[in-house]
Amino acid sequence: MTKRLKQITLLILLSVVISIIFNFVSGNGIPLIGNWPAAGGSEVAVPPSAEEGDPPFISLDEAAALFQTPGVLFIDARDPEDFEINRVRGAVSIPYDYLPEEDYDLYWENKAIEISHDTRIVIYCSGSECELSLYLGRDMVLYGYEDVKVFYGGWSDWVNAGLPMELEE
Amino acid sequence: MNKFLQNDYLSLLVRLFIGGIFIYASLDKIYHPSEFARIVYNYHLAPGDLVNLVAIILPWLELVCGISVVLGLYKEGGIAIISFLTVVFIVAIGINVIRGVDLECGCFTVSSKARGNALSLLFRDLGLLAICIYAWLNRSKRFFLFKQ
């Protein structure tokens, strides 16, 4: 057993040394510590303008888990043209900037027929430079939706993680 | 059964197969570290700071262990590491199957077109693990380039 351990140690040491040296001398080496976005995974991204009482923000992992959960509806708050091009698989579009200013109450009354108030909802927009998901989330809570979560990592984190999506034909 | 386990020729075949697979698998990744780093990142398992180190070291570990197993030089250690790596791959793919992530395998190539069906990947790796276990149990030292 000690012989095997010795061999394992040697092989690992050899690989580490060769790989680091090769990475330095080869033309296409990469930095030893990469600059990968920290958001995503289990970290919860929260918009700078978040206030107390806002709907809860969720991490990429939570969003991915909810995506697998039956009955959870993903809502895309981006502009319709963005939604046309690509979206989270099965998401529906509620473009916040395009909602009617007049008869806003009526809009949500009609919406409640389509999407019932007890639906579990995850809202996203394009990512960390976008607050549409937060604004839409606040309004949906205001208009009676009981389970609204905001995935602030949004579309960019979703794509980076290679999670299921739909693209324009 | 013991005869089958300790067969010299089967031992050689298994060593060439496992070692060959790991050598072959390592090359494209060694040549394209930045593409492989992106694939490692997309598995969302390694902490961000460690992604590049994994992408740099892992392919060389595959290559070194592959060579060790093929040559019969430190084969015990090489098989142990390869078995461990295979278990890590199975767990990594399994976690992403549960997450429902459509991931790039990064198994043999860094090409993004190589999006295999994750379940068939799992079965492939389980098969590989079974062969590793055989190599682990087989103590034949015939056809070793270096007799330790």
- Residue A48: CB partners within 8 Å, gap ≥ 6? none
pLDDT at A157 over 80: yes
Pairing of strands A72-76, A120-124: parallel
- The SS3 assignment for A39 reads coil
The pLDDT assigned to A130 comes to 80
Lowest mean pLDDT segment, chosen from A82-96, A121-135, B110-124:
B110-124
Q: What is the pTM of this model?
A: 0.63
pLDDT (tens digit, 9 = 90+) per residue, A112-137? 999 999 999 999 998 766 889 999 99
Cβ distance A15 to B57 less than 8 Å, yes or no, reads yes
Helix, strand or coil, per DSSP, at residue A55: coil
Kindly identify which residue of chain B lies nearest to residue A40, measuring between CA atoms: B44
Q: How confident is the model at residue B100 (pLDDT cuts 50, 70, 90)?
A: low
| Integer Cα distance of B74 and B65 in angstroms | 9
Contact call for residues B143 and B12 (beta carbons, < 8 A): yes
Helix axes B118-137, B8-31, angle to 10 degrees: 130
Whether residue A38 lies within 8 A of chain B, CB to CB, comes out as: yes
**The two structure tokens encoding residue A166:** 């739909």
* Chain B residues within an 8 Å CB radius of A65: 99
Of A4, A16, A60, the CB nearest to B76: A4
CB contact under 8 A, A12 and B61: yes
Rounded-to-integer distance, Cα B68 and Cα A11, Å: 8
Q: What is the pLDDT of residue A37?
A: 60
Instruction: Answer for the pair A112, A139: CB distance below 8 angstroms, yes or no.
Output: no
- For residues A48-86, one letter each, b for 16 or more C-beta atoms within 10 angstroms of the residue's C-beta and e for the rest, the string is eeeeeebbebbbbbbbbebbeeeebbbbbbbbeebbeeb
Helix or strand run (H / E) with residue A9: helix A2-25
| Structure confidence at residue B102 (pLDDT) | 56
pLDDT class of B38 with cuts at 50, 70, 90: confident
Question: pLDDT band at B116, cuts 50/70/90?
Answer: low
With tokens 């300790």, the residue in question is B6
B82 close to A (CB below 8 A): no
Averaged pLDDT for residues A53-77 = 92
pLDDT at A148 over 80: yes
At A129 the pLDDT is 66
Above pLDDT 70, what percent of chain B?
90
* Residue B16: how many other CB atoms lie within 10 Å: 13
DSSP letter string over B51-120? HHHHHHHHHHHHHHHHHHHHHTSSHHHHHHHHHHHHHHHHHHHHHHHHHT------SS---TT----HHH
Please answer yes or no on whether B100 and A163 come within 8 Å at the CB atom. Answer: yes
Smallest CA–CA distance from B61 into chain A, residue: A15
Does B80 touch chain A if contact means CB atoms closer than 8 Å?
yes
pLDDT at site B103: 67
CB pairs under 8 A between A and B: 111
Tell me the β-bridge partners of A88.
Answer: A165
- pLDDT attached to residue A68: 86
Per-residue pLDDT band for B119 (boundaries 50, 70, 90) equals confident
Mean pLDDT of chain B: 87
Position with higher pLDDT, A37 vs B123:
B123
Of A4, A29, A161, the CB nearest to B77: A4
- Over 60: is that where the pLDDT of B93 sits? yes
Cα angle A139, A144, A149; round to 5: 60
Beta bridge partners of A86: A167
Task: Give the residue, B129 or A35, on which the prediction is more confident.
Answer: B129
Task: Determine the residue of chain A that is closest to B105 in CA distance.
Answer: A162
- Residue A13 touches partner B, C-beta closer than 8 Å: no
pLDDT of residue A135: 94
A23 contacts on B by Cβ (under 8 Å):
33, 56
CB spacing of A28 vs B34 below 8 angstroms = yes
Highest mean pLDDT among A58-62, B13-17, B49-53: B13-17
| Mean pLDDT, residues A144-152 | 95
Regarding an ipTM greater than 0.95, the answer is no
Q: Across the interface, do A19 and B34 touch by the CB < 8 Å criterion?
A: no
**The predicted structure's pLDDT at residue B148:** 56
**B77–A contact, CB cutoff 8 A:** yes
Residue holding tokens 């061999």?
A7
> Which chain A residue's Cα is nearest to B72?
A7
| pLDDT tens digits, one per residue of A7-61 | 999 999 999 999 999 999 998 888 898 766 655 567 787 777 788 889 999 999 8
- Asked whether the beta carbons of residue B78 and residue A11 sit closer than 8 angstroms, the reply is yes
Q: B46 touching A, CB under 8 A?
A: no
pLDDT beyond 90 at B146 = no
